[in-house]
Each structure stands twice: as C-alpha cells, then as structure tokens.
C-alpha cells in the first residue's frame, strides 16, 4: 500500500513538485517538501537497506519473490511436519530400482514391493513403515532408518492416536530407535515376554530355518532368512550388514507388536514378516513352499478355534508367499495400506480366512478371490458374515484370505506351484500383471501430494501404491498421520467429502432377475454434477462416471446423461430424488452406456487390492475403490442401506447394479449367484472394480463361495474394528 506512494515520491519527486497538485498540497502545508523527501529516503533506506540499488524498481518484485519463497517455505515446513519427507525419500528410494541390484533381483523386489504395499495386515502402515527402513538401508540411505523413528515419534505427537495401529507404530518406532545393541537387549526382553513362536522369530533372525519347528516360527524364519539372503545377494557386504540391522529392527518391531497383542497380532506380524521376506526377494516363494511343508507338519497343531484360524490365516499367507505377492495386493489389500484396513485387517484376515474355510475352500479362484476382491469392504462384510455364519470348513488349499484373483489363479495352479518355485514365479508374475499391473495403476498426481481430493487414491480412501505415477506422494502408509490429518481437515470442511459420491439406496437395488436395463439411475450422485460441455456423456461427469443418472441436484447444462437425465427424461425417476432413496429407478432403463461400462469393467477391472486409508474405515462407509484400468474411480457408487451398511460398488457398470445389489443390500450378500457379478465387486464407474480381478476369473469359474449368503447386519461393528477410535 505504501509502496506506491513511496515510489511516487521517490522517483518523480521532482515531477511531483512541479505538478499542480503538488503545488496545491504544498500550499496547504508548507512543510511538505522536506518531509516528503525525508520520508522517501526513509522508505528507500528500509527497502533497500540490504540490497543495493538493484531493487529500485522491484518493490513489487521483491514482494513477489518473497511470496514465492514464502510459499515454498510453507510447503517445506508443512512437509517437515510430515516426517514423511525423509521417509518419503527413503520410500522413493525404495521404489526406484536405482540400485545396482541385479535385474532379476530388482524385478523380484518390485513385485515384492507391490505386494508389500498391499499387504493387508492390520499393521499395514506399520509394516510398510518398517519395511521401508530396511529398504532405505539397502540403498545406503541410512538416514532413512534414522528418520523413521523420528517420524514415528512425530506421528505420535501429532496424532496421539490410540489406535492400535498407532500404538504399533509407536512401538515399532521405539524399537527402531534402539541401536543395534539396544535392539538386541530389547529384543531379549521381548523374547521373554513373547510366546515361543515369537521368540523363535527372534532367534531366527540369525538362525537358519532348520531350527524352527513351529509353522509360524517357520514363517518368520523364512521371511527373515529370505530377506537377509536377498539383501546379501543383491548388495555388497556393506549393504548386507546394514540390512541385517534393519531387518532385526523390523523383526523387533514385529516382535514388539506381537508382544503387545500376541494373539491377534501374531498373524499379522507373521504376515508382515513374510511380506518383508517376500519383498526382499521374489525367491521367497520357494521358501514358502518349504515353509508350507513345514507348516503342514505343524499345521495340525492349529486348533479349530477362531484363533487357530487366524493363525492359519497368517500361516497361509505366509505359507503361500506367492499368493501374497500376488495377493498382497488383494488380500493384503485390505491390509495393505489402509489404516482402516489395518484395523479391519486383522479381523479381515481372520474373516477372510474364515470365509475361505467356510466356503470350503474352493478350488477355484473365484471363491476366495471374490471375497478378497471386494477388499476392505468385503472384509468387513465378511467379518460380519463370518460371525453370522458358522460353518467353516477347513480349507485344504489353504487359500489365503487375502488372495486376489491372481492369487486364486495361483491356487488354481495348486500346490504344485507352491512347491515349484519357477511356476510360482510365473504365477506371481501373471498375477501381478493381470491383477495389479493393470488395475493398480492409479493416480498421477503431481502437485497435490495425493493429499487432496484431486487424487483419486486419496479420495477413494486408499493409499497410493507403486502403480501410481504420483510425485511427492504423501498418501502412503508412512505418512499415516499426514493422511489422517488431511482427511480430517477435508472432512471438517466437508463432512461428506469422502463419502461415496454416488449413493444407491439398498432398496433400490435391482434384483438380479430384474431387467438388466434397469439403470443405476436409482443411484444418484449426491451432490450432482456441474457439467457444461460434456453433456454428461463423458467421464468428466461424475454422474456418468458413476453410472448414474443426473438428478435435480445436478447443475449440468445440456444434460444427456444416458443413465438418466436431469430433466427426468429417463424413466428411472432420476429427477425425483436427490437422495437416492427411492428407487423408482430400478425400473430405469439400463442404457447402452451402462452395458459398455459393464463390459469395460469386466475387462479392466482387475482390481487391486487397495489399501484403504484409515479414514475410510472410520467412516461408516467403506467404499472400495476399484480401479478400472487400475485406477480407482473417483466416484464409486456406494449403496447405503437404511440399516447403515454399505457396500460400495461401482455402479458405473451395470454389473455393479445387478450383481452387487445383492451385496449392496445392507444385509445380505449372495455371492453366489450368478453372474459375474457374483463376486463381490465394487465397481467404479470407470470400470474400475474394487473387487478383485478374481471376480472375473471367479465369474468364469463356477464356484463361488459356498453360495452362502452373507448377511450383514448393521454396521455398528465398524467402529469396533477400527483401531483408531
């Protein structure tokens, strides 16, 4: 404000003096000239004080620059808050196959990474967090290790969350803090407290597999061993040493976690360990086979109790690394990145497993896959269902809960694969390719750090994973705190920000037998679109993308939404309700577009296991984002039943509408039915399915889960599941 005056005063002083106005002013106040000059100088001196004349012109520039810097600073500062930066670096390092590691190793690692990211353990975040450390160390970014604890601490401070996850993180961080020596000591202490298996794990870090008897133990050992081996192989001696330490730390962390909650966490931890091992090397599969054998020997030990199941699950996962790798996406999915998942994860794993068991382990992929595919939501659902249903059958195949379609494939291949490393590898690759590869590609954020709704992943409540092409991504388990905070912030602004954009009333759910044409119109985009040029005929339109008709709430112009126009041209009754409750729509006509969608979905959809972010879990709704093309659709349709349950689906594609309705119905899911939809899928409008690719596969495969219907009851359960709150 002052600046202009000054400038005026400065340069043109003489001019002013000459000007009539100045004269006039001068007349008014005789003192002026001097003062004016004086002032001018003062300002000049101030402004220029440090900088030379160079800045003469540039007040403005200065400001701009200052602004510029400020912005940067802000950003920087913000980053720092998120311990993440360092972590990020580490993380990124991880992701970047920069190292001199052999190509093979690199590939395997990549695969592993993918898998790891998707690991479903409840501790997913922790897992990854921990996992990163080693990676960083591998890459020689010791700093990464160093910072991790700090990050954890920061997280603690920031969140102070009680969530089990957080707690775990904290513990992990603490563990990490320990110097190797301290670690050792701490470890010893832990061992005393830990159950035998854990202790074994501890010893395992250094011991060969042979020493282990217990299946669980075996897993741990394998994981550790594999990891260490891998590192050793890949890296020079130095790296090996570092890795060793990091691994130990990880192990400790795991142990600590386990210690904190032995029964529940054991599995997860085990899984975690396994994952790590896998991550470190693809070769683990072989190990897995070995483990599996061992496990088989020990498997008998497992009791029929739920706990036993859980363990089994863990074991299975571990046992079938392949699946994990493949799975990691899926099964792990749930656990993968999600905080929510994490919460649910434990349960999920259990549930899933149970389901598998209940289903009687279908030889076919579909069954397991379908469940898993549904991912976090499904997990939850499954949990409920599990509770409801009692019949569990032991799964011979040991299908892992988390497995995806890909996994299912693995299964299909059968045990041979397990035993056969090469086959396993192939399968894994296939899985990855088919499953994640495609589906997993997700966001491509460059400036939002994946912490805004611009980011599809973030918006979908899932962590970004490797397939994402995002930059400076903070939407990773490592940055849980940041993610949570951001989400809260956004939600504070708009409580429904993360709610499914398209809602479908459960009632509206069309019945399977119904006309396929029935449009998802019954579903409605909550806020309505605002399309001006796309005529609501392109994916730019959220309504269209979600496979729903436009409604009154839409402010679109020239609406031609094939799913239903704003004007209500579509019978579905679109216009009628902004809210989605009614479903006249069901009657709606399914449009060609819908069909297209379906087709696309089917094709694309390979879903990935998404790591749900914690918030999602917290939310009542758990939309499972599916990626069509690997990307989770921004909007996915979620059905909310009056009861409060929801299963998100992608309405987009008709499948969702049809098949899913079952699922959607708050209370029941009938997986088995028919159609491809059978798999519990969540489809995104984009055709991205939440459900695992298996669904597709599954669809092909006749078998489904036992045909049982899952009855979901009101979801009060969610809260409990959520570790956070």
The residues binding DNA (CB under 7 A) are 442-450, 452-456, 459, 490, 493-494, 497, 501, 527, 529-535, 538-542, 545, 556, 629, 631, 633-634, 686
Q: What are phi and psi of 62, to 5 degrees?
A: -55, -45
**Looking at beta carbons only, is 412 or 453 nearer to DNA?**
453
Quote the DSSP letter at residue 549: B
Q: Report, in Å, the least distance between residue 560 CB and DNA.
A: 11
Phi, psi at residue 638, to the nearest 5°? -125, 140
Looking at the Cβ atoms of 400 and 534, the one nearer to DNA is: 534
Instruction: Compute the least distance from the CB of residue 61 to DNA, in Å.
Output: 18
Q: What angle do CA 229, 232, 233 make, to 5 degrees?
A: 85
CB of 535 to DNA, least distance (A): 7
DSSP string, 236-280: -HHHHHHHHHHHHHHHHHHHHHHHHSHHHHHHHHHHHHHHHHHHH
Closest to DNA by CB, 587 or 634: 634
Give the pairing type, strands 502-505 and 637-640.
parallel
Which among 172, 174, 266 has a CA at the least distance from the CA of 216? 266
Minimum distance, C-beta of residue 593 to DNA, in the bound complex (Å): 10
In this complex, which beta carbon is closest to DNA, that of residue 456 or of residue 577? 456
- Nearer to DNA by Cβ, of 258 and 464: the residue is 464
Compute how many other C-beta atoms are within 10 angstroms of the C-beta atom of residue 45: 9
Q: What is the nearest approach in angstroms of DNA to the Cβ of residue 465? A: 13
- What is the rounded CA–CA span in Å between residue 398 and residue 396? 5
Instruction: Provide the minimum distance between the beta carbon of 548 and DNA in the complex, in angstroms, as a whole number.
Output: 12
Q: What are phi and psi of 445, to 5 degrees?
A: -65, 140
The Cα 483–Cα 451 span in angstroms is 7
Q: Rounded to whole angstroms, how far apart are CA atoms 135 and 227?
A: 11
CA distances for 342 relative to 102, 124, 617, angstroms: 33, 6, 9
By the 8 A CB rule, do 662 and 508 touch? no
**CA within 13 Å, CB half, 414:** 2
Q: Which is nearer to DNA, 101 or 455 (CB)?
A: 455
Which of 35, 446 has the CB closer to DNA? 446
Task: Compute the least distance from the CB of residue 488 to DNA, in Å.
Answer: 12
CB 567, min distance to DNA, A: 16
Nearer to DNA, 333 or 445 (CB): 445
Q: How far apart are CA 40 and CA 44, in angstroms?
A: 6
Q: CA–CA separation, 348 vs 328, rounded Å?
A: 13
Nearer to DNA by Cβ, of 659 and 684: the residue is 684
Least separation in angstroms between CB 539 and DNA: 3
């Amino acid at each position: 404000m002052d600046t202009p005056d000054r400038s005026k005063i400065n340069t043109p002083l003489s001019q002013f003096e000459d000007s009539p106005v100045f004269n006039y002013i001068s007349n008014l106040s005789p003192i002026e000239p001097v003062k004016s000059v004086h002032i001018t100088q003062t300002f000049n001196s101030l402004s220029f004080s440090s900088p030379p004349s160079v800045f003469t012109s540039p007040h403005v520039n200065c400001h701009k620059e200052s602004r510029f810097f400020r912005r940067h600073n802000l950003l920087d500062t913000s980053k720092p808050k998120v311990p993440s930066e360092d972590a990020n670096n580490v993380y990124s390092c991880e992701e970047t196959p920069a190292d001199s590691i052999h190509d093979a190793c690199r590939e395997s690692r990549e695969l592993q990474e993918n898998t790891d990211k998707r690991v479903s353990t409840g501790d997913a975040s922790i897992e990854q967090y921990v996992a990163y450390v080693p990676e960083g160390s591998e890459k020689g970014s010791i700093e990464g290790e160093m910072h991790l604890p700090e990050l954890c601490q920061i997280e603690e401070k920031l969140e102070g969350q009680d969530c089990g996850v957080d707690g775990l993180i904290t513990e992990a961080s603490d563990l990490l803090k320990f110097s190797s020596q301290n670690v050792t000591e701490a470890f010893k202490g832990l061992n005393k407290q830990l159950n035998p298996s854990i202790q074994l794990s501890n010893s395992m870090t250094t011991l060969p597999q042979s020493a282990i008897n217990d299946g669980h133990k075996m897993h741990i050992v394998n994981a550790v061993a594999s990891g260490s081996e891998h590192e050793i192989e890949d890296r020079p001696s130095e790296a090996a040493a570092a890795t060793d330490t990091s691994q130990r730390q990880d192990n400790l962390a795991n142990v600590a976690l386990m210690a904190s909650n032995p029964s529940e966490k054991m599995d997860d931890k085990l899984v975690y360990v396994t994952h790590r091992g896998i991550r470190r090397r693809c070769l683990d599969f072989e190990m897995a086979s070995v483990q599996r054998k061992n496990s088989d020997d020990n498997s008998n030990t497992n009791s029929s109790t739920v706990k036993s199941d859980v363990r089994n699950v863990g074991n299975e996962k571990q046992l079938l690394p392949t699946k994990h790798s493949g799975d990691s996406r899926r099964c792990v999915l749930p656990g993968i990145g999600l905080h929510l998942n994490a919460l649910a994860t434990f349960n999920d794993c259990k549930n899933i497993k149970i389901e598998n068991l209940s289903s009687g382990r279908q030889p076919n992929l579909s069954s397991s896959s379908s469940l898993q595919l549904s991912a976090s939501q499904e997990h939850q659902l499954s949990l409920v269902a599990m509770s409801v249903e009692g019949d569990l059958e032991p799964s011979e195949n040991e299908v892992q809960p988390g497995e995806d379609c890909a996994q299912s494939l693995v299964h299909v291949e059968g045990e041979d694969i397990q035993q056969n490393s090469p086959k396993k590898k192939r399968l894994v690759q296939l899985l990855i390719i088919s499953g994640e590869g495609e589906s997993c590609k997700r966001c491509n954020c460059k400036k939002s750090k994946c912490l805004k709704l611009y980011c599809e992943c973030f918006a979908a409540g899932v962590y970004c994973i490797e397939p994402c092409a995002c930059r400076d991504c903070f939407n990773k388990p490592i940055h849980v705190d940041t993610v949570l905070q951001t989400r809260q912030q956004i939600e504070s602004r708009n409580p429904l920000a993360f709610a499914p954009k398209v809602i479908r009333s459960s009632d509206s759910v069309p019945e399977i037998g119904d006309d396929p044409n029935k449009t998802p119109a019954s579903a409605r985009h909550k806020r309505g679109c605002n399309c001006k040029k796309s005529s609501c005929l392109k994916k730019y339109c959220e309504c269209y993308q979600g496979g729903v008709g436009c409604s009154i709430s839409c402010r679109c112009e020239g609406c031609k939404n094939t799913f239903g126009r704003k004007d209500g041209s579509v019978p579905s009754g679109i216009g009628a309700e902004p809210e989605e409750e009614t479903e006249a729509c069901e009657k709606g006509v399914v449009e060609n577009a819908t069909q297209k969608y379906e087709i696309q979905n089917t094709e694309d959809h390979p879903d990935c296991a998404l790591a749900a972010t914690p918030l999602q879990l917290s939310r009542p709704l758990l939309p499972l984002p599916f990626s069509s093309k690997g990307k989770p659709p921004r909007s996915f349709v979620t059905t909310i039943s009056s009861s409060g349950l929801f299963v998100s689906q992608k309405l987009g594609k008709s499948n969702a509408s049809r098949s899913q309705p079952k699922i959607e119905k708050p209370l029941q899911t009938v997986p088995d039915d028919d159609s491809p939809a059978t798999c519990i899928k969540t489809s995104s409008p984009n055709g991205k399915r939440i459900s695992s690719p298996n669904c597709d596969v599954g669809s092909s495969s006749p078998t489904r889960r036992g045909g049982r219907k899952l009855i979901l009851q009101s979801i009060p359960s969610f809260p409990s599941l959520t570790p956070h709150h």
